[in-house]
Amino acid sequence: MNGAQALLKTLADAGIEVCFTNPGTSEMHFVAALDSEPRMRAVLALFEGVATGAADGYARMADKPAATLLHLGCGLGNGLANLHNARKGKVPVVNIVGDHATYHTQYDAQLQSDIETVARNVSPGFVRTAQSTAALCQDAADAIAAARGLPGQVATLVLPADVSWGEGGQPCPPPAPPAPTAASDEAVQAIAQAIRSGEKTIVLLGGHALREGALRSAARIAAHSGVQLLAEVFPTRMERGAGLPAVERVAYLAELAGVQLAGARHLVLVDAKSPVSFFAYPGKASDLVPAGCTVHTLCSPAQDAAASLDKLAAALGASATQPPLAPAQRPGRPRGPLTAPKVCKAVGHLLPENAILIDEAITSGLMLGVMTAGCPRHDLITLTGGAIGQGLPNAVGAAIACPDRPVIALIGDGTAMYTLQALWSMARENLHVVSVIFNNASYSVLNVELERVGAEQAGPKAKSQLDLKGPVLNFAQLAQGMGVHAVRASTAEDFCQALEYALAHPGPHLIEALVPESLAGPKRKVLPWLLRALPSLPPQVARALKRKIAP
Amino acid sequence: MNGAQALLKTLADAGIEVCFTNPGTSEMHFVAALDSEPRMRAVLALFEGVATGAADGYARMADKPAATLLHLGCGLGNGLANLHNARKGKVPVVNIVGDHATYHTQYDAQLQSDIETVARNVSPGFVRTAQSTAALCQDAADAIAAARGLPGQVATLVLPADVSWGEGGQPCPPPAPPAPTAASDEAVQAIAQAIRSGEKTIVLLGGHALREGALRSAARIAAHSGVQLLAEVFPTRMERGAGLPAVERVAYLAELAGVQLAGARHLVLVDAKSPVSFFAYPGKASDLVPAGCTVHTLCSPAQDAAASLDKLAAALGASATQPPLAPAQRPGRPRGPLTAPKVCKAVGHLLPENAILIDEAITSGLMLGVMTAGCPRHDLITLTGGAIGQGLPNAVGAAIACPDRPVIALIGDGTAMYTLQALWSMARENLHVVSVIFNNASYSVLNVELERVGAEQAGPKAKSQLDLKGPVLNFAQLAQGMGVHAVRASTAEDFCQALEYALAHPGPHLIEALVPESLAGPKRKVLPWLLRALPSLPPQVARALKRKIAP
């Protein structure tokens, strides 16, 4: 048995059943070994960012890692952005990067680069280059243990070609999965005391605290003790919909997040990071915690969020409280010329049972949360690390993890172009994914950001950097070129019909929503905090928002 | 004047006139400052790999660097593969990577990552994070000096948002361009002596030794002293065509390169690296220098190749020798069902004066060199670092550097998918680029590599990793979706007609050449060394090659 064959057996023995690949010559023995391991499914991507993003999406839904197979340092570079998103989302990935044979690196051949250095950024906790065929599978077992550790992470195993092709591979038994612990008694008591003080308390839920069990416990605490719940701004995976507690997410715009957090005297972190501004802005605070607010940590991402919340609920006497749950409720069917809010409304109107909703729609998706709050239960996946180009690859992985669940991915036009090759993998694997692309021919969010950073004297050259006109992209054609059924819609009626068709016909579909450029205007009554925030915004931002959201 | 405005003035004062951008929020002040510097052209890319590959292609043709503008560590990651190609090609690039404001990094916001670590791989000689607005332009001047140093390199300047937006920017005068020196007298004498010995000597030309002046000097030496000339396997830029000395490139396949280099007692490196195998293979040597051959270095990439060759020619008494030059000669017009060799023949038949030819056709392009050897003078750009996805972005940059020259980019299908977004930039900037995509629905080179590494028991899962069928990509549709005029051709007649049309109509065009999968069979008489090499190959490789190239 050569190294590659033993490696594949070790991966499969540990329950790793899918490998998202974009191989080259140095990975040919791994590729050749695929047929020796019937438990391993290999999914080819045409670009490494698709492979890594698919591994991320897979693990979010399967709750276990997939493997990747990348081609040396340059392949890793191409996969880096979505590994960054996985890292920020604490998602387990066993990231396998082929390398030259150990004796070949001294020759500095064309593709030679320092793979470990590139990997360290996304794999700070585990980067290892296998040194021998005999030891390879122990390295792999260590990588698996690191990846699915507490919390999950990207673990990078560099696989030299001769380690892969060498004979004498020794499969390694799978490492034991780790068992997370609940919050300490001290943390629970301190937080219970803060809550009992009656001072305004916000409980910020992140990571695994956004799964059903933890959400119900948190909602019991909120109903019993009057604390306010918020979800982190970009959840790795959030369970939501009718019958589950509804939790509002912290807003992306720091000015609006400030309104949500205003007045809090205690902020309780549950598998979440203390909120900070996504970017810095001249004269604005980066730390979003209000002055005078004490930050408490109930449990870290390495602990068991649900058990921790249960302990807190018990300490507060809230274990038997019946929390309010989101009522089943859908928006009506939208009509007339298509706009971004109408797309969100249509998704809310038609979202099927048990769907996986992937939101990388940036400004166009502002209405999505509101419009789907009362839909049938679904999972929401978002852009954890801010590296755009995540949504379509995530959809590939999610659909492979959950073949019986429909996946709907809402993607901005600028965003879609980073990893559009994901569409081909959807077609090849015949995945039931509906990709909705908001085509407003603009990096719309950047027009807002240009105003926010105070760079308001934008001239024509600056503005041209933010528009995607000349030529306007035709995503339906792009999708068809990769074998994906696709249509364009410019009315709400056409969009609804296309979405109904796509949901009824398993396999990949793309719907290109032709929408006017705007902040995808939330209405006054659905996001009241947005309008409450207006007076606190810089005047030109407030004017721009008003113009865009409340015409 | 804020930091960004001063930076742009410093760049422009140093002759840097183009910035290839894919900005985000942290780069908004740089974007806003673009209109303050009329000498700076900003070219938007939809993916960072396009921006970095365009900067690479630009510098190869303009002989001076462009700037990039990338968005934090993830944007840099996406741009890494083509920066790797630039690094390996010793191409100057001023790589500007926006970062969070200096005071924001402590908060570990979503897009926080260790940019310097990621950059070090492609910028080993210069990575610096600007620390203050006042010092920014000195940092930029240092980066420019490093980029266009001896030899050229990628210099990465990390630009925190507050350094960019801060007031008090002080433009810096441009650094003096460096003056390379010729080979030392000792090196010249030693090599002249080796050549005079009459032992078989090969002069390997790379880097700037593939420009006209150096080529003529090298050819004089060859004609006078009977040495053999070879060009490095993947030149950064090679001047060739009728009226210039014709120099054969070292073959990509190590087995064939071994035939080219066989019997040499002296190998003279002129701005070139001693030849090594691209990849390692079980049981094969990585070092391609034959046993008993002495390697001499006439001049390093930091020296003046043309002046060095002149010195050597003078030492040998070859300064007045008239070398043989490639005669003007074109292949005939191909007819019948399209194949990869016929595409190369058609390009040779129609290549216009003063074209820029970009070759990333991998196996499909084997005939290209032979078919264009007697064409009108042109420049050839190749895949210096082996990180595929270089050709289309290089074409963007080359066309911007040389707006009056037609650019023809020959690209493999697998290869094209890494940076296909380049087509949009071609359309937006209305560049006269003809992109020819060889669609054989396969990672064809990997089928050969699978055999070469000895992994011959490939099963269906392994083989599926190398084919691009199910679905077959439609590149014409993909191009149209990005606003590029595109057609498909499956006969030589259609292809010739499409190429003639494209060359006659300025602006971007894509021609999708539907060709059968094959090694794009060179004929016996045009690449005789290929067939001479067959007996030295492993039997299954020889059989595969024979089957594919000489049916």
SS3 B69: strand
User: Percent of chain B having pLDDT more than 70?
Assistant: 93
Tokens of B80: 């890494």
**What Å distances lie between residue A392 and A397, A490, A509, A517, B540, CA to CA?**
9, 22, 12, 22, 40
**Cα A345 from chain centre:** 22
Distance CA A198, CA A201 (A): 8
SS3 B444: helix
Contacts with B445 from chain A: Cβ below 8 Å: 25
For A32, which of B23, B78, B458 is closest by C-beta distance?
B458
Distance from CA of B3 to the nearest CA of A (A): 13
Distance from CA of A448 to the nearest CA of B (A): 9
The residues, ordered by sequence, that sit 6+ positions from A339 with a Cβ below 8 Å of its Cβ are A515, A516, A518, A520, A521
**Cα A381 from chain centre:** 5
Contacts with B110 from chain A: Cβ below 8 Å: 88, 234, 278, 383-386
A185-316 folds as: Rossmann fold (3.40.50)
The residues, ordered by sequence, that sit 6+ positions from A542 with a Cβ below 8 Å of its Cβ are A534, A535
Distance CA B222, CA B246 (A): 11
Distance CA B68, CA B57 (A): 12
Contacts with A111 from chain B: Cβ below 8 Å: 278-279, 385-387
Contact (Cβ atoms closer than 8 angstroms) between residue B245 and residue B218: yes
* Predicted confidence (pLDDT) per residue in B63-101, tens digit: 999 999 999 999 999 999 999 999 999 999 999 999 999
Q: Give the pLDDT confidence score for residue A533 in this predicted structure.
A: 52
Contacts with B161 from chain A: Cβ below 8 Å: 279-280, 453
In chain A, where does the domain assigned CATH 3.40.50.970 lie?
3-165, 340-549
Question: For residue A39, is it left (φ>0), alpha (ψ between -120 and 50) or beta?
Answer: alpha
Task: Return the residue in A107, A448, A512 with the most chain B beta carbons within 10 A, the one to mutate for interface testing.
Answer: A107
Residue B483 carries which side chain, given as an amino acid letter?
A: G
The closest of B186, B198, B207, B516 to B363, measured between CA atoms, is B516
B340-549 folds as: Rossmann fold (3.40.50)
Q: Give the pLDDT confidence score for residue B12 in this predicted structure.
A: 98
**Cα B205 from chain centre:** 16
Contact (Cβ atoms closer than 8 angstroms) between residue B526 and residue B368: no
Distance from CA of A5 to the nearest CA of B (A): 12
Distance CA A185, CA A402 (A): 37
Q: Give the pLDDT confidence score for residue B538 in this predicted structure.
A: 58
Distance CA B439, CA A447 (A): 39
* Predicted confidence (pLDDT) per residue in B402-427, tens digit: 999 999 999 999 999 999 999 999 99
Q: Regarding predicted confidence, which is higher, B517 or B541?
A: B517
Tokens 């090599």 correspond to B191
User: B279, A478: Cβ pair inside 8 Å?
Assistant: no
DSSP state of A463: H
Distance CA B500, CA B492 (A): 12
For B287, which of A107, A161, A462 is closest by C-beta distance?
A107
* Predicted confidence (pLDDT) per residue in B105-126, tens digit: 999 999 999 999 999 999 999 9
Domain B3-165 has CATH 3.40.50.970: yes
Contacts with A481 from chain B: Cβ below 8 Å: 473-478, 481
| Torsion of Cα atoms, A472 then A473 then A474 then A477, to 10° | 140
Spatial strand order in the sheet of A355-360: A238-240, A378-382, A355-360, A407-412, A433-439, A509-514, A485-489
Distance from CA of B108 to the nearest CA of A (A): 8
Contacts with A455 from chain B: Cβ below 8 Å: 28-29, 31-32, 165
The CB-side HSE value for B322 (13 A sphere, CA atoms) comes to 1
Contacts with A75 from chain B: Cβ below 8 Å: 81
Distance CA B504, CA B499 (A): 8
User: B280, A104: Cβ pair inside 8 Å?
Assistant: yes
Distance CA A66, CA A71 (A): 17
Question: For residue B310, is it left (φ>0), alpha (ψ between -120 and 50) or beta?
Answer: alpha
**What Å distances lie between residue A291 and A538, B5, B318, CA to CA?**
20, 35, 81
- Chain mean pLDDT for chain B: 93
Distance from CA of B323 to the nearest CA of A (A): 32
Contacts with A483 from chain B: Cβ below 8 Å: 470-474
For A286, which of B104, B110, B474 is closest by C-beta distance?
B104
User: A77, B73: Cβ pair inside 8 Å?
Assistant: no
The closest of A410, A429, A405, A291 to A341, measured between CA atoms, is A410
Contact (Cβ atoms closer than 8 angstroms) between residue B47 and residue B74: no
Distance from CA of A187 to the nearest CA of B (A): 23
Provide the ipTM. Answer: 0.94
Q: Give the pLDDT confidence score for residue B470 in this predicted structure.
A: 82
| Mean pLDDT on B441-460 | 75
For A234, which of B49, B110, B460 is closest by C-beta distance?
B110
In chain B, where does the domain assigned CATH 3.40.50.1220 lie?
185-316
* Predicted confidence (pLDDT) per residue in B134-152, tens digit: 999 999 999 999 999 999 9
Using only C-alpha atoms, what is the Rg of chain A?
Answer: 24
User: B73, A453: Cβ pair inside 8 Å?
Assistant: no
Contact (Cβ atoms closer than 8 angstroms) between residue B7 and residue B41: no
User: A108, B273: Cβ pair inside 8 Å?
Assistant: yes
B/e letters for A21-59, b = 16+ CB within 10 Å, e = fewer, are bbbbbbbbbbbbbbbbbeebebbbbbbbbbbbbbbbbbb
Contact (Cβ atoms closer than 8 angstroms) between residue A390 and residue A91: no
Using alpha carbons only, what angle is made at residue B170 by residues B167 and B176, rounded to the nearest 5 degrees?
A: 155
Distance from CA of B119 to the nearest CA of A (A): 8
- Residue B524 in this model has a pLDDT that exceeds 70: no
Distance CA A331, CA A322 (A): 26
B-chain residue closest to A451, CA distance: B28
For B480, which of A31, A460, A474 is closest by C-beta distance?
A474
**What Å distances lie between residue A449 and A278, A387, B25, CA to CA?**
11, 16, 6
Tokens of A217: 């416990």
- Residue B45 in this model has a pLDDT that exceeds 80: yes
Contact (Cβ atoms closer than 8 angstroms) between residue A237 and residue A379: yes
Contact (Cβ atoms closer than 8 angstroms) between residue B109 and residue B161: no
* Predicted confidence (pLDDT) per residue in B349-392, tens digit: 999 999 999 999 987 777 899 899 999 999 999 999 999 999 99
The closest of B155, B73, B78 to B122, measured between CA atoms, is B155
B147 burial type by CB count under 10 A (0-12 exposed, 13-18 middle, 19+ buried): buried
Distance CA A422, CA A52 (A): 11
**What Å distances lie between residue A549 and A90, A366, A439, B3, B97, CA to CA?**
34, 10, 18, 33, 33
Tokens of B236: 């950064």
For B449, which of A28, A234, A450 is closest by C-beta distance?
A28
* Predicted confidence (pLDDT) per residue in B182-234, tens digit: 999 999 999 999 999 999 999 999 999 999 999 999 999 999 999 999 999 99
DSSP character string of B146-190: HHTSSS--EEEEEEEHHHHH-B-----PPPPPP---PPPHHHHHH
For B32, which of A450, A464, A472 is closest by C-beta distance?
A450
Walking along chain A (551 residues) 10 residues at a time, the average pLDDT comes out as: 98 98 95 96 98 98 98 97 98 98 94 94 97 98 97 98 97 93 98 97 98 98 97 97 96 86 97 95 91 98 98 98 96 96 96 98 84 96 97 98 98 96 98 96 77 74 87 96 98 98 98 79 41 56 57 37
Q: Give the pLDDT confidence score for residue A302 in this predicted structure.
A: 97
User: Percent of chain B having pLDDT more than 90?
Assistant: 84
B460 burial type by CB count under 10 A (0-12 exposed, 13-18 middle, 19+ buried): exposed
Contact (Cβ atoms closer than 8 angstroms) between residue A34 and residue A43: no
* Predicted confidence (pLDDT) per residue in B10-38, tens digit: 999 999 999 999 999 999 999 999 999 99
Contact (Cβ atoms closer than 8 angstroms) between residue B52 and residue B122: no
User: A476, B481: Cβ pair inside 8 Å?
Assistant: yes
Distance from CA of A313 to the nearest CA of B (A): 30
Using only C-alpha atoms, what is the Rg of chain B?
Answer: 24
Quickly list H helices, B380-440. 391-401, 413-416, 422-428
Distance CA A535, CA A121 (A): 40
Distance CA B18, CA B51 (A): 11
Distance from CA of A314 to the nearest CA of B (A): 33
The closest of B192, B480, B260, B511 to B361, measured between CA atoms, is B511
Task: Return the residue in A250, A426, A461, A485 with the most chain B beta carbons within 10 A, the one to mutate for interface testing.
Answer: A461
**Cα A92 from chain centre:** 13
